[in-house]
Amino acid sequence: MSLPGAGVLGKLRVAGRPGLRRIDATLPVWVGAALFLVFLMLLPLGSIFVTSLRDEHGITLRNYLDVFTEEAFFKAIWNTVVVSFWVGVIALGIGALLGWLVTRTDLPWKRAIRALVMASFVTPPFLGAFAWTLLAGPNAGLLNKLYRSLTGSEEHLLNIFTIEGLIFVMALYSFPYVFSMIANVCELISSDLEDAANILGAGKMRVALSITLPLAAPALVGGFIIAFLHSLSLFGAPAILGLPSGIHTITTQIWALFQYPPRLDLAAAFSVPLLLTTMCLIALQKKILGRRGYSTVGGKGGQRRLVQLGVLRFPVLLLVVGILSLSVFLPYWILLKAALSKAWAVPLTWDNFTLGNFGFAFFSYGDTQRAILNTFKLGILTATVGTLIAALIAYITNRQIFRGARFLNFFALAPLVVPGIVLAVGLFIAYTRPPLALYGTIWILFVAYLTKEMPIGFSQAETTFKSIHPELEEASRIVGANRLRALRDVTAPLARSGLIAAWCFIFVGVIRELSASILLFTPKSKVVSVVIFDLKEEGQIGVIAVLGILLLVVSFLVIFTVQRLVGRDVLASRE
C-alpha cells in the first residue's frame, strides 16, 4: 500500500484516543476511503506525471518542451482557452437570466421552462453538436437553406464549423449548470433588502445593481467557472464541430495523440496543464463561494416577492422559448427527421421516409445491442454503487460520526478537479498492463464513471442529509432505537427522494459520458456514446440519430419514472 494511505491511518491511530471500539468502527471507512483515493485518483494521476517525465532514456522534460514549443499544440491550448472563456460568458448570461426569471419574476409557464432547461442538461453535448451540424452546416444546414430561400441571398447565415459555432453549441449545453446555481441562490435571497432600498428611494435599476447583483455575485462568478470548466473538459462537441475545419482543442489533441503510433508521453504531458488549470479554478471557485458573508443568503428566511414583468411578460417568454428552442426543439426535431429519412437534407416526404435506420440500428448492427447493454449495465451499476458510497460518506461527514470525518469530504470531491479525458489517460496508463489489467473490460469504464460522478453524487447526498435535522434521529434514539434502526426508520425514508435524485444524476451522467469512454473502450466494451462517435466518423447520419433518440428517450424515462416515484422535481431543486 502506498504512503498517503498509511499516513492517514497512522494519524488516525494517534487521534483515536477515545477507545479501541471507536477505532474499530471507523477503520474500515478510512481504509476504504484511502483505497478509493489511491486507486481511483493517485495511481492514475501519478501515472500521468511519471509518464510525462519519462522517455526511453530516463527522466526528462523533453515531453513538456515538445508540447509547449510545437505550434499545433500551442494553438490547441489557445483555442481551448478562447472557447471556454466565451462559453463561460454566454452560458452565464443565459443561465443567470433564466435562473432569475423562473425564480423571481411572474414569467408564465415556469414549470415547462424548468423542464426544458432540464432537457438541455440531459442532452449530451456531442449529440447537440451533431444535430447542429445538420441545422447550421454552411451549405446543407437546414437553417441556412431556409435563410437563403427567404432572403434570396447566396451566402450562409451560420457556419457551425467555426470557433464561434463551437462556442455557441457548447454554451447551449453548459448553461443549465449556471442556471441551477443561480436559481438556487435567487430562491434564497429574500426581498427584504431590496424592499429596504426601495423604501429609501432607490429605483429599480439601482436596487438591482447595488443590492441584488452583489448578493448574487459569488454565484455568478461560480457559475462562470463551472461553465468554463465544463467546456474545458468536453471532447465530443469540439471533435464534431472543430476538427472538420482544422480546429483542435486540448481534449481532441489528447485523443489524437492516442492514435497509432500512440504518444502516451506527450498525451500525459499535455494533460498536466489541463489538470492544473482545473485545480486552480476549482480552488478559486471554492474561495469565492466560500465567502458567506451575507446572512440573507443561506437560509430560507424572509419573503421573496416576484418582480412583475408587466408588458414585457410575453416578449420575455418569447425570448426564453427562443433560447430553449436552440438547445432543445430544433436539435430534437432534426434528429427525428434524420432518423426517419433516407436523405436528411431533403424534405421528409413519403418517398424519403424510412424506418430502415431503426431496423439497422437495433437489429442488423451488432454493436448497438452490446453497447446498449453495456451502457445500461454501467449506468445502473455506477449509479447504485455511487449513490451508496456517496450517501455513506455524506452521512458520516454530516453527522461527524468520528473525528476527522470532514476530511472524507476531500476524498469525495477530489475527482472534480480531474477532467474526464485526463482521468482516462491516467486510468489507461495505470490499468492497461497486468497485474491490474482492467483495460478490455467494462470495469475500467466503471472505475472511470464512478470516480467522475462521485462529486455530483456526494454533493446531492450531502444536501439531503443537511436538510434532515439530527434531532429526528436523536428523538428515535431516545425512545430506544439504536443507530441503525434510527437510520432505517427515520433518516432513510426522509433521505429517499434526495438520494434517488443523486442516483438519477449519476445515471444520466454515465449514459452520456464520452470524453473518458473514448480512450478506455475496446470493441468488446463499447458504450452507446462511443458507438455514436464511431458512426459520426463514418458519416452514418440516420443511425446516429436513432441512437441519439434512444439515449434521450431512456434518460427522460428514467427521470420521469423517478419523479413519479418520488413525487417531485428531481433536477429542479427546491420548488
Partner 1 sequence: MRKIFVSLSVALFVPLVNLASAQDASLIEAAKREGKVAWYTSLALPSSTALAKLFQDKYKGVEVEVHRTGSQRVLQRVMQEVQAGIKNADIIHTSDAGHFVLLKDKGLLMKYVPRGTAVIPDGFKDKDGFYYGMRATLTIIPYNPKIISESEAPRSWRELVDPKWKGKLVTAHPGYSGIIMTHVAALLNQFGWDYFKELSRNRLHLVQSANDPAGVVASGERPVGVNCAEYFCYKTMKQGNPLKIVYPKEGVPLVVSPTAIAKDAPHPSAAKLFTEFIFTKEAQQMLADREGLYTGHPEVTYPKDKPRLKELKLLPVDPQELEDKNAEIKKRFVEIFGA
Binding residues for partner 1, rule: CB under 8 A, are 72, 137-141, 161, 242-248, 252, 256, 258-262, 342-345, 360, 364-367, 432-434, 437, 439-440, 522-524, 534-535, 537-541, 543
Choose between 83 and 394: whose C-beta lies nearer to partner 1.
83
Choose between 68 and 410: whose C-beta lies nearer to partner 1.
68
Cell digits of residue 294: 451575507
Radius of gyration of the chain (CA): 25
Choose between 364 and 400: whose C-beta lies nearer to partner 1.
364
Choose between 19 and 246: whose C-beta lies nearer to partner 1.
246
Helix crossing, 125-136 with 142-151: angle to 10°? Answer: 30
Choose between 354 and 463: whose C-beta lies nearer to partner 1.
354
- Asked whether 105 and 186 are in contact (CB, 8 A), the reply is no
CB of 452 vs partner 1, minimal distance in Å: 21
Q: How far is CA 112 from CA 107, 109, 306, in A?
A: 11, 5, 18
Task: Determine which helix (DSSP H) or strand (DSSP E) holds 74, and give its type and residue range.
Answer: helix 71-104
Cα–Cα nearest to 426, from 280, 277, 281, 271: 271
Choose between 65 and 343: whose C-beta lies nearer to partner 1.
343
Choose between 111 and 342: whose C-beta lies nearer to partner 1.
342
Cα–Cα nearest to 121, from 559, 574, 566, 564: 559
DSSP code string of 151-178: H--SS-S--SSSHHHHHHHHHHTTHHHH
Handedness of CA 430, 433, 435, 437 (dihedral sign): positive
Q: Tell me, what DSSP letter sits at residue 297?
A: B
Cα–Cα nearest to 77, from 282, 285, 269, 223: 269
CB of 140 vs partner 1, minimal distance in Å: 4
Q: Which neighbouring-strand residues pair with 299?
A: 297
Q: How far apart are CA 119 and CA 102, in angstroms?
A: 16
Choose between 185 and 444: whose C-beta lies nearer to partner 1.
444
CB of 11 vs partner 1, minimal distance in Å: 37
Handedness of CA 220, 226, 231, 236 (dihedral sign): negative
Choose between 433 and 564: whose C-beta lies nearer to partner 1.
433
- Asked whether 547 and 478 are in contact (CB, 8 A), the reply is no
Q: Tell me, what DSSP letter sits at residue 417?
A: G
Per residue in 222-252, is it b (16+ CB within 10 Å) or e — as a string? bbbbbbbbbbbbbbbbbbbbbbeeebbbbbb
What's the length of the chain? 575
Choose between 175 and 255: whose C-beta lies nearer to partner 1.
255
